[in-house]
Amino acid sequence: MAVPGPRFRPALILFAATLLAVTGMVTVASGAAAAVEDDGADCPVSLPASFPSTAKLPDPFKKIDGTRVTSKSDWRCRREEIKKLAERTIYGQKPAKPASVTGTVSATNITVNVSENGRSAGFSAGVQLPSGTGPFPAVFVVGGFGADTATIKASGAAVISYDPLAVGKEGTPRNNKQGAFYSIYGSSSSTGLLAAWAWGVSRIIDVLEQSGGQLFKVDALGVTGCSRYGKSAFAIGVLDQRIALTMPIESGTAGVPILRGIPGESGSQGLSNAYGEQPWFGDAFSAYTGNPAGLPVDTHELVGMVAPRGLFIMENPHIDWLGARSGSVAALAGAEVYKALGAGANITYWSDVQDGTHCASRPEWRTPLQQNIQKFLLKTGSAAGTFRISAKKAGNLAEWRDWATPTLTDGPGTSTTPTTPTTPTTPTTPTTSTTPAGGCTATVSVNQWTGGFVTTIRVTAGAAATTAWTVAADLPTGAAITSVWNAGPSGDTGSVRFTNTSFNGALTPGQSTEFGYQGTGTATGTTASCTTG
């Protein structure tokens, strides 16, 4: 068949545009490889019938067969193992793409029609376009509140308003779940709302992929939401690798915070309470509401499942119910996966905010929101992620892990001494103080960026147990501390003394704990010494 000459092309373009408007089912042209919903779906995963219980966070780099990840290429199938573990115990199964997914895409609306095994369902999402001409990157805003949609659109991204309740209703008993997902898979499905809501966004993305890209860039999609919809935004980013930027806000229990940490965090929503409030969790999670140590997985590994894609976690330390301390631990531990994959600059955690109002539009988050959209959706930015942990709810990763972060290469990897990640930039070489065998040592690591830094100091007991410790740190000229976690400071410039808190002063021989601080200026060259008693 002869290729049409130039004079025929306008008519063909008009025909294609008309077809899109009528059906919304234009096939995506072949070309560069695109992200897929589950890149590791072909990995063989065999889950054991039971798992050993552990109060510590499971090692994200340890495979089910007991061996550890040693190369970056290993992570693909290890990620699939974590996904299967999370589906079995936390979320319930998120089914793969149904046999038929069709729909329409316009400047104001997206419709989705799904058919599987003789059952059909449909739902839709609203669209708000930014100024300018498309195709546009887009951010799914789950539930319609708590997200800074003005900044999203001003940054050049469209807003896709997703109503998750059309896909999975709240207020229903577990044996009679309702909504488009359960119309397809049955009202007694053991899959919880969070996985069902994630499935709904995945089906919208299917339709966007079919639309030919005239309005939306399918390789530049983000998701955000607050509170219960922050839980949803997190699950969506975890369970669909086509999401380039995941931005959960104040997600609380069933969201980012580690499940093992919730029972010990005063005032946070209990696991049983969250399980009973709504069917957010999968039904199988009932076995773990009183025993999170029995879980073979925890949310730090779900943070790792998002890696190396963009992740911006926003938390509120002023409301105990939201469990922000456990959230900071999840972010710190999950950032170890980012670091191992060479993507440490792709994760941001921010709980250092002044306004305690739930789901408020916060000025502290506006700049990092813009930077993340520029970097991961517009692909015009390169700002490194940062950790801004509120001193009110600062978690201590050292208390939660007994595993080391490997150095992953394309060949065999080697383990490194565990370190708590802070701002994801290149750290300086740690320096260790020299102390008597019976005292303690202080090891300094600095993550420096232009105009600011985060310093992590690791305190290790010597041959004798300690009940209290003090670290004296000498900051370079011009460096000033703005926030501290897991220690009490005296001063903020020059020679600063840090003393233990009530929960990290007692160390057995050789045991370590960590504290940190953020500041302005340059901290490279900081030295520290440790004394006990």
Parallel, antiparallel or unpaired: strands 100-105 and 109-116: antiparallel
CA dihedral 483, 486, 492, 495 (to 10 degrees): -150
Structure tokens at 395: 């978690």
Q: Please indicate whether residue 300 is annotated as part of the active site.
A: no
Helix (H, G, I), strand (E, B) or coil at 110: strand
Distance CA 209, CA 303 (A): 26
Distance CA 224, CA 149 (A): 10
Structure tokens at 81: 């193992």
CA dihedral 70, 72, 74, 78 (to 10 degrees): 100
- Which residue spans within 155-244 are E strands per DSSP? 158-162, 216-226
Structure tokens at 167: 């896909």
Q: Is the peptide bond before 308 cis (omega within 30 degrees of 0)?
A: yes
Task: Give the number of residues written for the chain.
Answer: 533
Distance CA 527, CA 495 (A): 10
Catalytic residue of the set 155, 161, 211, 227: 227
Parallel, antiparallel or unpaired: strands 406-407 and 387-388: unpaired
Between CA 240 and CA 401, with CA 82 as vertex, the angle to 5 degrees is 125
Q: Is the peptide bond before 135 cis (omega within 30 degrees of 0)?
A: yes
Helix (H, G, I), strand (E, B) or coil at 272: helix
**Buried b / exposed e across 219-256, counting CB within 10 Å, b at 16+?**
bbbbbbbbbbbbbbbbbbbbbbbbbbbbbbbbbbbbbb
Parallel, antiparallel or unpaired: strands 440-449 and 109-116: unpaired
Distance CA 493, CA 480 (A): 5
* CB atoms near residue 130 (< 10 Å): 16
Q: Please indicate whether residue 187 is annotated as part of the active site.
A: no
Quick one: 426 exposed, middle or buried, by C-beta within 10 A (0-12, 13-18, 19+)?
Answer: exposed
Catalytic residue of the set 120, 124, 358, 529: 358
Structure tokens at 338: 């980012």
CA-based radius of gyration for the chain:
24
- Name the residues annotated as catalytic: 227, 358
